């Protein structure tokens, strides 16, 4: 389990000291914050919110500027918002969906994924 002293850059993209690695999406539940790979992490809800905002911004920047054809990512879909990131940031409000295959665009780039079962999430790949 990570200790607070193992982390740095609170108030922005929280990173692990001595590693070229940041935490993933953070989820606050009953006053505790969790991260997919590290479980419970010693971070406040406010710090988690700022981290998630910075992480979402980095994801969007990467999709728009450096994502190459064939590279993959992870997103969510709802009929209300379209394709979003974990924190709800909208990637495309009106994607195309056919037989659980979802296609969304960011500028001239196109991404395709497949919704699984009754899940609202999908892995996607840049296709154009």
> Residue 119 — pLDDT band, cuts 50, 70, 90?
confident
Q: What is the pTM of this model?
A: 0.89
How big, in percent rounded to 5, are the helix, strand and coil portions of the chain?
Answer: 20, 40, 45
DSSP 22: B
Domain ranges of the chain: 4-65, 72-126
Residue 50 confidence (pLDDT) above 90: yes
Residue 118 confidence (pLDDT) above 90: no
List pLDDT tens digits, range 99-111.
999 999 999 999 9
Q: Where are the alpha helices (DSSP H) in 36-76?
A: 45-65
Contact 30, 38 (CB under 8 A): no
Share of the chain above pLDDT 90, in %: 94
């Amino acid at each position: 389990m990570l200790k607070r002293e193992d982390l740095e850059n609170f108030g922005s993209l929280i990173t692990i000291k001595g590693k070229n690695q940041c935490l993933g999406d953070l989820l606050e539940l009953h006053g505790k914050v969790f991260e997919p790979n590290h479980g419970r992490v010693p971070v406040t809800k406010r710090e988690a919110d700022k981290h998630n905002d910075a992480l979402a911004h980095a994801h969007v920047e990467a999709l728009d500027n450096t994502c190459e054809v064939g590279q993959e990512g992870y997103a969510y879909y709802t009929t209300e918002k379209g394709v979003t990131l974990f924190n709800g940031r909208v990637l495309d409000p009106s994607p195309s969906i056919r037989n659980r295959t979802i296609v969304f665009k960011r500028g001239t780039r196109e991404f395709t994924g497949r919704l699984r079962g009754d899940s609202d999430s999908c892995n996607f790949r840049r296709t154009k």
